[in-house]
Structure 1
Amino acid sequence: MAPSNFGYSLREAGHHFARNGSSTFGAVITIFLSLFIIGLFAMGSVLLDGMVGTVENQVTIQAFLSDDASQDAVDALQSKISGWSEVESVSYKSKDEALAEFRETMTQRNASDAVAALDDRNPIPASIVIKLRDPQDVEGVAKRLGSDDDFAAVADVTTAEDGTTSDPADQVQYGQGTVERLFTVTNWIRVITLVLVALLTFVAFVFINNTIRLSISARRREIAIQRLVGASNGFIRGPFIMEGVLQALIGSVLSIGALEAIRRFGLPMLAERITFLNFAISARATLSTYGLLVAMGLVIGLFGSAIAMRRYLKV
């Protein structure tokens, strides 16, 4: 569509809107529903990914320390670990803090007898708690720490009767086995979500393209007359492409409005009823979703109309 043909195409698209209200309305509603479902699923995937990320971020490494370890050696080890690129933060948990945490956990599980059995003794060792930038690195960092000589010097190792000591790597805990299964499940959730969004987008494009094709097919005589009087393909195609773009833009704006209403009013209501889940969506993710819907609307309007017009413009 040439720039000189833009005004004509816009006027003709407006006339088509007025003359073919029912087909235009049907196309707009089809685009709106398709983009709304895609946007709804995209927002759901953002929420799901946030929930999965929250669970993953709770994965930490806990390295147990000997009661005889000097504070200087522990501080030096913390400083060394902090310099590792995979590590976000390192904190020290004293024996008293570990015991307080144990008491709270066991009390919540109605196991006060286990707490009383300690008889004012504290058998729980101090530890270093490591939080990672990417929880997926937990296994590699745990192995690296377990084989580190500085950690071996302060680790809570035990000595057997024959004089042999336990492996310091045994004192590095991160929920082995459970964490691997967690990451497997969360990775599959992300893959399935991406596949479903892609599939839904393809189905929506086919559905919308057929709707635009039917709208253009209803005016095939008009196209034939324009060809008979010598109009160029670009001149004929311009108003139909403009009409498809306007329909797609209106549909995308309506879908964004509906999604924004759900985000502002629906999600807070869910958050009040399901307090243990996080239903917050960042402004960046929201704007990205809305921008994607507008871009998809433009692509669908442009290419849907162009593809649907091809059969009527063949010589």
Structure 2
Amino acid sequence: MALSNLGYSLREAMHHFVRNWTTALGAIITIFLSLFIIGLFVVGSGIVNSAIGNVEQQVTINAFISDDASDDAIKSFQNKLESWENVSDVSFKTKEDARKDYTGMSNSAEATMSALDGENPLPRSFVIKMDDPSQVEGTASKIKSDPDFKKIVDKDDVASSVLYGQKEVDRLFTVTGYMRLAAIVLVALLTFIALVFINNTIRLSITARRREIAIMRLVGASNGFIRGPFITEGIIQAVIGALLAIGVLEMIRNMFIPRIQGAISWMQLMLPLHLYLLTYAALIFFGLLIGFFGSVIAMRRYLKV
């Protein structure tokens, strides 16, 4: 569409928009609902991924230390651990810390410790957090094979001195991997379905004006000149639909999500603002693509020579 045709296309698009407002309203509602569902699912997927990430971040390695290990050897290995790749934090848990954690688990745990007449059999340990929890197995293996670690653990039981809930962690990452894949597939499927519905709606709108297109062709109008108003109208409808979808998503973000978050504070539902802005920009961009290509594809059969 040439720039010289832009003014004409805008005037004609607005004229058609007002004259056929029921058809235009149907297209806008279809676009709004389609983009809103996509946007809602993208935001929902972001919340699920955030929750999954929070669960994954709880994965830690516990490296238990022999009671005979010297403080200097323990400190030296801690410094070494902190310099490793994929290790984000290393905290040292004393025997007293271990006792407090154990007795805080239940009343029976307190009774068990009391029956030991003041003895504390629980070992000291390192609690290790990682930048990438999915690499927990590799990091645990590296600890087990480290010569400095072997100096501060029970020589007869090095393997069992490093624990991270192997089976549970494997199941966790398997489940979260499937959940992320399912989210991607569902977003792609919803996008495809939305494109089909929107294209059909625009096609019906253009079909209703096929005689107008035929008359313009008979008087010698070029394909680009004919397409201009229809493409412009399709883009206007798509942008309005996208803005309505964004408005409803903003209302949900500001009014409903904070209330739900307050009711289930144990689960993180709030996403950073920039993720919402990226979603909104994507909806507008997708709306523009739908308006443009939907009109072009729908008009193709009426512009064939």
Same structural fold, with TM-score higher than 0.5 when normalized by the shorter chain: yes
Alpha-carbon separation, structure 2, partners of 1:232 and 1:119: 97
Task: Report the alpha carbon displacement of residue 284 of structure 1 after superposing the two structures with TM.
Answer: 1.8
The equivalent of 2:100 in structure 1 is 100
Q: Secondary structure at the match of 1:216?
A: helix
Q: Which amino acid aligns with 1:124?
A: L
Alpha-carbon separation, structure 1, partners of 2:295 and 2:269: 38
2:133 maps to 1:148 = no
2:263 maps to 1:269 = no
Alpha-carbon separation, structure 1, partners of 2:287 and 2:254: 23
Check conservation: 1:23, 1:215, Cα contact below 8 A. Answer: yes
Q: Secondary structure at the match of 2:192?
A: helix
Check conservation: 2:103, 2:109, Cα contact below 8 A. Answer: no
The equivalent of 2:179 in structure 1 is 189
Q: Which amino acid aligns with 1:46?
A: G
Q: Equivalent of 1:305, from 290, 295, 304? A: 295
Alpha-carbon separation, structure 1, partners of 2:222 and 2:270: 52
Task: Report the alpha carbon displacement of residue 117 of structure 1 after superposing the two structures with TM.
Answer: 2.3
Alpha-carbon separation, structure 1, partners of 2:7 and 2:113: 81
- The range that moved more, 90-99 or 111-120, is 111-120
The equivalent of 1:3 in structure 2 is 3
Q: Equivalent of 1:123, from 121, 125, 135? A: 121
Gaps in structure 2 of 5+ consecutive residues: none
Q: Equivalent of 1:220, from 170, 192, 210? A: 210
Alpha-carbon separation, structure 2, partners of 1:269 and 1:282: 17
Alpha-carbon separation, structure 1, partners of 2:258 and 2:303: 51
Task: Kindly provide the CA deviation profile for residues 23-62 of structure 1, in whole angstroms up to 9, marking residues without a partner as x.
Answer: 0000000000000111111111011111111110000011
Task: Report the alpha carbon displacement of residue 111 of structure 1 after superposing the two structures with TM.
Answer: 4.3
Alpha carbons of structure 1 residues 13 and 118: separation in structure 2 relative to 1, 3 Å: farther
- For the aligned residues, what is the CA RMSD? 1.1
The equivalent of 2:42 in structure 1 is 42
The equivalent of 1:177 in structure 2 is 167
Task: Give 1:22-41 correspondences, 5 Å limit.
Answer: 22-41=22-41
The equivalent of 2:279 in structure 1 is 289
Check conservation: 1:271, 1:279, Cα contact below 8 A. Answer: yes
Identity of aligned residues (%): 56
Check conservation: 2:13, 2:233, Cα contact below 8 A. Answer: yes
Task: Kindly provide the CA deviation profile for residues 141-180 of structure 1, in whole angstroms up to 9, marking residues without a partner as x.
Answer: 001111111100011x1xxxxxxx4231220011110000
Task: Report the alpha carbon displacement of residue 112 of structure 1 after superposing the two structures with TM.
Answer: 3.6
- Give the total of aligned pairs: 305
The equivalent of 1:69 in structure 2 is 69
Task: Report the alpha carbon displacement of residue 119 of structure 1 after superposing the two structures with TM.
Answer: 2.5
Q: Secondary structure at the match of 1:62?
A: strand
Q: Secondary structure at the match of 1:280?
A: coil
Q: Which amino acid aligns with 1:222?
A: E
Alpha-carbon separation, structure 2, partners of 1:221 and 1:72: 90
Alpha carbons of structure 1 residues 112 and 90: separation in structure 2 relative to 1, 3 Å: closer
Q: Which amino acid aligns with 1:300?
A: I
The equivalent of 2:196 in structure 1 is 206
Alpha-carbon separation, structure 2, partners of 1:117 and 1:26: 75
Alpha-carbon separation, structure 1, partners of 2:116 and 2:133: 34
Gaps in structure 1 of 5+ consecutive residues: 158-164
Check conservation: 2:144, 2:150, Cα contact below 8 A. Answer: yes
Alpha-carbon separation, structure 2, partners of 1:286 and 1:45: 12
Q: Secondary structure at the match of 2:151?
A: helix
Q: Which amino acid aligns with 2:142?
A: R
Task: Report the alpha carbon displacement of residue 278 of structure 1 after superposing the two structures with TM.
Answer: 1.4
TM-score normalised by the chain length of structure 1: 0.94
Q: Which amino acid aligns with 1:309?
A: M
Check conservation: 1:146, 1:170, Cα contact below 8 A. Answer: no
The equivalent of 1:162 in structure 2 is none
